[in-house]
């Protein structure tokens, strides 16, 4: 199928806006939107191997699609974890059977995924995870790469985005009891529909919403049959996945940032705070830094720079946009002035309490320098892997 833009893109814009209008004030039914995208062939762009995706697309076309999707203010995606993280990982490390089983439902928007990495004692330091998985043949003679047995999972994951909606979770677990750090880890595919075996508890955030969750695996009954990349090779697979996490989607993220900055500028002009030279300088700084982040992202995608620089590119990008977004939230509140302390509804009666866009931006962005790898961890990665500085001393337990 040929990949085209133009009139077709305008049709998509209209469909996206119409869908938003139809669902405003109610449940956004994001899983339904995923199926709409899959039906029209907009999931799995560029999955050339095996024909599992819907359309062939060059890297440039994938960037254009991601940016136009953001510009159209289309509904938020709930399938991005399966499409942008799991799928390229399976294409690189999965068996033919795993690709045939899991990629088509993702491309159709029918199965949603979440990521089981972080734990209460192993957030940014992923190598310290304690969730365990023990192979159990169930009395049969099952092999780890075939039917007849499964792993029994014991442990807890935290900050698991969209776990309350997901059908599957890819989980990093320790399958060798005496192993430490990045040794003895395995990448497992776990079905979330295991009542009484897997418990999902939403975490209420400062914004009043609960996109993140705690996930508990009961070792007596929680099961996983599918291993990606072989037992004990989970660290290699997990690091490969993290390389996909900050690719094309970063440019789309910056389109959203530009929209937010534009609203802050409009508010500053409307209420007169733009006349304040300090505020004006801050607005210009945000604009200039956003342009710099875009150029850096394009340079990285283009493959320029030496190997060492490329190794630290995701960490540099995370440091840049995390702090930038926090400063934008602070600037939005500053532009609003005293009115930023007043909600759009009576906070004493509203449940959950309501926030306007600037208040939500300010509160949610406080987490930007923590999730996805804290700033401290990103600086350590740059220091050790790019600059070659001595490694930080770490205890055996993590």
Q: Is the peptide bond before 352 cis (omega within 30 degrees of 0)?
A: yes
Is 97 considered catalytic here? no
Contact 70/252 with Cβ under 8 angstroms? yes
Is the model's pLDDT at 379 over the cut of 60? yes
What was the pLDDT predicted at 310? 55
Is the model's pLDDT at 323 over the cut of 50? yes
The residues, any chain, with a CB within 8 Å of residue 369's CB and separated by 6 or more, are 322, 323, 326, 375
pLDDT digits (tens, 9 = 90+) for 160-187: 888 888 899 999 888 877 766 768 889 9
What was the pLDDT predicted at 65? 85
Alpha helices, DSSP H, located in the chain: 7-23, 30-39, 59-71, 80-81, 87-93, 96-107, 234-245, 248-271, 277-301, 307-336, 357-364, 375-381
% the chain with pLDDT above 70: 77
Partners of residue 122 on adjacent β-strands: 119
Tokens read off for 379:
């600086």
Is the model's pLDDT at 38 over the cut of 60? yes
- CA 6 to chain centroid, in Å, comes to 29
Q: Where does the pLDDT of residue 4 fall: very low under 50, low under 70, confident under 90, or very high at 90 and above?
A: very low
Q: Where does the pLDDT of residue 264 fall: very low under 50, low under 70, confident under 90, or very high at 90 and above?
A: very high
Tell me the C-alpha distance between 106 and 104, whole Å: 5
Q: How many residues does the chain have?
A: 398
DSSP state of 233: B
Contact 215/159 with Cβ under 8 angstroms? no
Burial label for 71, CB within 10 Å (0-12, 13-18, 19+), is: middle
Is the model's pLDDT at 282 over the cut of 90? yes
Is the model's pLDDT at 14 over the cut of 60? no
What was the pLDDT predicted at 33? 85
Q: Token match 């997990």: residue?
A: 238
**Catalytic: which of 110, 245, 354, 384?**
245
What was the pLDDT predicted at 2? 30
Is the model's pLDDT at 245 over the cut of 50? yes
Q: Where does the pLDDT of residue 278 fall: very low under 50, low under 70, confident under 90, or very high at 90 and above?
A: very high
Tell me the C-alpha distance between 28 and 95, whole Å: 35
Is the model's pLDDT at 327 over the cut of 90? yes
Contact 166/86 with Cβ under 8 angstroms? no
Mean pLDDT of the chain: 77
Q: What is the mean pLDDT of residues 255-265?
A: 89
% the chain with pLDDT above 90: 16
Paired sense of beta strands 168-174 and 113-116, if any: parallel
Partners of residue 133 on adjacent β-strands: 153
Residue of higher predicted confidence among 70 and 329: 329
pLDDT digits (tens, 9 = 90+) for 48-85: 666 676 778 887 888 888 888 878 878 878 888 888 88
Residue of higher predicted confidence among 392 and 322: 322
């Amino acid at each position: 199928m040929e990949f085209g833009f133009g009139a077709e893109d305008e049709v998509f814009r209209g469909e996206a806006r119409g869908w938003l209008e139809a669902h405003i004030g109610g449940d956004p039914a994001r899983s339904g939107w995923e199926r709409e995208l899959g039906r029209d062939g907009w999931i799995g762009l560029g999955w050339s191997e095996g024909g599992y995706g819907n359309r062939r697309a060059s890297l440039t076309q994938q960037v254009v699609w991601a940016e136009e999707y953001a510009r159209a203010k289309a509904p938020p995606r709930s399938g991005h974890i399966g499409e942008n993280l799991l799928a390229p990982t399976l294409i690189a490390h999965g068996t033919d059977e795993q690709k045939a089983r899991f990629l088509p439902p993702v491309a159709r928007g029918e199965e949603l995924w979440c990521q089981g990495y972080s734990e209460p004692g192993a957030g940014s330091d992923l190598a310290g995870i304690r969730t365990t998985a023990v192979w159990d043949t169930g009395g049969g003679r099952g092999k780890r790469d075939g039917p007849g047995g499964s792993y029994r999972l014991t442990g807890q994951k935290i900050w698991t985005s969209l776990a309350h909606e997901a059908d599957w979770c890819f989980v990093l677990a320790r399958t060798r009891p005496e192993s430490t750090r990045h040794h003895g880890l395995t990448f497992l595919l776990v079905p979330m529909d295991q009542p009484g075996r897997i418990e999902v508890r939403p975490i209420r955030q400062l914004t009043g919403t609960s996109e993140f969750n705690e996930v508990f695996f009961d070792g007596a009954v929680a099961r996983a049959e599918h291993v990606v990349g072989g037992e004990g090779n989970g660290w290699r697979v997990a690091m490969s996945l993290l390389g996909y996490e900050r690719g094309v989607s970063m440019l789309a993220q910056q389109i959203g940032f530009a929209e937010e900055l534009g609203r802050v500028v409009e508010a500053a002009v409307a209420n007169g705070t733009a006349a304040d030279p300090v505020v004006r300088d801050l607005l210009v700084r945000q604009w200039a830094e956003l342009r710099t982040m875009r150029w850096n992202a394009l340079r990285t995608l283009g493959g320029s720079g030496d190997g060492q620089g490329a190794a630290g590119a995701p960490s540099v990008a995370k440091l840049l946009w995390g702090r930038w977004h926090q400063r934008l939230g602070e600037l939005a509140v500053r532009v609003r002035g005293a009115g930023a302390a007043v909600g759009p509804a009576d906070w004493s009666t509203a449940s959950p309490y309501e926030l306007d866009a600037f208040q939500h931006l300010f509160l949610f962005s406080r987490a930007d320098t923590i999730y996805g790898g804290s700033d401290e961890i990103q600086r350590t990665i740059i220091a050790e892997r790019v600059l070659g500085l001595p490694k930080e001393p770490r205890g055996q337990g993590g």
